[in-house]
Amino acid sequence: MVMGKEKDENLEQPLDEQGGGQSGGVPADGEVEGNAYSPLGNPGVKHWQAGFISREGLQDRNNVFFAAVEMTRMPMVVTDPRQDDNPIVFANGAFLDLTRYEEKDVLGRNCRMLQGPDTDPRTVTEVRAAVKEERAVAVDILNYRADGTPFWNALFLGPVFDHDGQLLYFFASQMDITERRQSQEVSLQAQKMEAIGQLTAGMAHDFNNLLQVINGNLEVTLVSLDNPDAAREAVLRAQRAAMRAGKLTQQLLTFARKQRLEPKRLNINSLVVEFSEMLVRTLGDQVELRLDLRPGLPPCMLDPTHLEMALLNVLINARDAMPGGGEVTVGTSIIRDEDRIRAHRLPPGVYVTLCVIDKGTGMPPDVLRRATEPFFTTKGPGTGLGLAMVHGFAQQSHGRLEIDSEPGKGTTVRMIFPIADNDMTPIPPQSVPQRMSQPYAGQAPQDGDAPADGTAEGTAPQAGADSPAATPARAAAGPAVLVVEDNDDVRELAESVLAMSGYTVLTAPSGEQALALLEQGARVDLLFTDVIMPGGMTGLELVDKVRQRQPELAVLVTTGYMDDLPERGRTTGLTILAKPYKHEDLLEQVRMALKIDRRKAS
Contact criterion met (CB below 8 Å) for 328 and 380 = no
Q: What is the pLDDT of residue 554?
A: 92
Looking at domain 2-176, which of 3.10.180.10, 3.40.50.720, 3.40.30.10, 3.30.450.20 is its CATH number?
Answer: 3.30.450.20
Q: What is the pLDDT of residue 78?
A: 95
Q: What is the pLDDT of residue 346?
A: 80
Q: What is the pLDDT of residue 432?
A: 32
**3-class SS letters over 388-424:** HHHHHHHHHCCCEEEEEEECCCEEEEEEEEEECCCCC
CA 297 – CA 294 distance, rounded (Å):
6
Q: Which residues pair with 1 in a beta bridge?
A: none
How far from 322 is each of 52, 293, 349, 401, 536, CA to CA, in Å?
A: 49, 23, 36, 22, 16
CA 113 – CA 99 distance, rounded (Å):
10
The three-class DSSP label of residue 167 is strand
Cα end-to-end distance, the chain, whole Å: 77
- HSE-CB at 276 with a 13 A cutoff on CA atoms is 24
Q: What is the pLDDT of residue 82?
A: 94
The parts of the chain modelled with pLDDT lower than 50 are: 1, 258-261, 380-384, 423-467, 569, 571, 596-602
Q: What is the pLDDT of residue 106?
A: 94
Ranges in the chain annotated CATH 3.30.565.10: 288-301+319-460
CA 137 – CA 3 distance, rounded (Å):
4
How far from 94 is each of 36, 127, 137, CA to CA, in Å?
A: 21, 22, 21
Q: Which CATH superfamily is domain 471-601 in?
A: Response regulator (3.40.50.2300)
Helices (runs of H) and strands (runs of E) counted in the chain: 16, 23
* Residues whose CB falls within 8 Å of the CB of residue 40, separated by 6 or more in sequence, listed in order: 47
Q: Give which of 434, 283, 303 is closest to 356, Cα–Cα.
A: 283
Q: What is the pLDDT of residue 192?
A: 61
CATH number of 288-301+319-460: 3.30.565.10
Ranges in the chain annotated CATH 3.40.50.2300: 471-601
Ranges in the chain annotated CATH 3.30.450.20: 2-176
The three-class DSSP label of residue 60 is coil
